[in-house]
Amino acid sequence: MASRPLRIGIDGTCLALRRGYGRFLRELMPPLLELDRTNEYVLFVDRHAVRDIPELPVRIVEPATRHNQVDAPSARGNRALGDVFTMGKSVAAEKLDLMYFPSVFSWFPVRGVKTAVAFHDTIAERYAKVVFPTFKTRMLWKLKVGLARRQATGIVTVSEWSKRSLASWFKIPEERIFVTPEAPSPEFGPVLSDAPRRAWLKEAGLPEDARYFIYVGGFNPHKNLREMLHAFADVTGEGDAGKPVHFILVGDYQGDTFHSEVSVLQGIIKERGMEDRVHFVGFVPDEDLRNLYAGSIALAIPSLEEGFGLPAVEAAA
């Protein structure tokens, strides 16, 4: 006798995030739904950001929360207890067999259902004072992570390095941790023409033939960008034949829910006289980012730690 299809819930409240966890889930969902056409999926989304949710062949549930669920569990905030209760109640009403959280960042407690929770790294534990600016947010994070670990039937992570780190830090048996590696979007690959890159550079206010390093990611203290900028200032000058070397910083530096130090970085840029060579360009779509990777001198990843380091495999593709 064939077993019945499973009802699998997925926490989609991070989908509105352009970076990190949001991108992870956006890249995961299409191939998952293509590979698994047997089971039924229920996606719980943030009704305050539902317009940013891609079209997917799943049941969409919008819990009646009062606050934006992306901003609430940020580096300086926390979810309202009423919203936590509302999210859990919505999950219970769907009679699920399994609930999957693509990141502990947006985890909330659920009852009566097995859960799989993704822990991407131990950065928030190893560098707590760097990631969370206040004692309150550090304690709330520690409490949430502890509850999530205890409730999780299984723990998912993105690399063997993170698996070993999680097992060591939290004393979790390795057999409870499952690795699902990340991969670049199909958008990334060899570039056959430099024309799109030259056009992008010109529109961004850089010379079409600019030589540049590139950084892609957030602007949080653990990304170690202060040291990167000082190193860049120390080793680059006007370059050959008076042609300066530029640094392009890709990432949403205005709407970041994580603890950001953009103002500190801007101060370093001004102090070292690099205003005309270091460029905050904001979010860049994949089709343009692919060209920027291909034309760069090198991709810089100066982070104190990364769970996976997706830009590295995007650039290598």
Per-residue pLDDT, 1? 46
Q: What is the pLDDT along the chain (317 residues), one digit of tens a residue?
A: 457 899 999 999 888 777 778 888 888 898 999 999 999 999 998 876 666 666 788 999 988 888 775 654 444 556 678 888 899 999 999 999 999 999 998 899 999 999 999 999 999 999 988 888 889 888 999 999 999 999 999 999 999 999 999 999 999 999 999 999 888 888 899 999 999 999 999 999 999 999 999 999 989 899 999 999 999 999 886 555 568 999 999 998 776 556 679 999 999 999 999 999 999 999 999 999 999 999 999 999 999 999 998 999 999 98
Residue 157 to residue 161: CA distance in whole angstroms: 9
By DSSP bridging, strand 114-118 and strand 154-157 are: parallel
- Report pLDDT for 185: 87
CA nearest to 121, candidates 24, 257, 46:
24
Tell whether domain 7-179 is in CATH 3.40.50.2000: yes
Greatest distance between any 2 Cα atoms in the chain: 76
Closest CA to 79 of 89, 92, 93, 65: 65
For residue 48, the model assigns a pLDDT of 67
For the chain, residues classed under CATH 3.40.50.2000 are 7-179, 195-316
Tell the residue number behind the tokens 């999957």, with chain if given: 100
CATH class of this structure's domain 195-316: alpha beta
Q: Supply the pLDDT for residue 2.
A: 53
For residue 43, the model assigns a pLDDT of: 94
Q: What is the per-residue burial (b if ≥16 Cβ within 10 Å, else e) of 12-28?
A: bbbbbbebbbbbbbbbb
pLDDT at 120: 94
Kindly give, in sequence order, each residue whose CB lies less than 8 Å from that of residue 75, ignoring residues fewer than 6 positions away: 131, 132, 133, 137, 220, 257, 258, 259
Between CA 38 and CA 294 the distance in angstroms is: 40
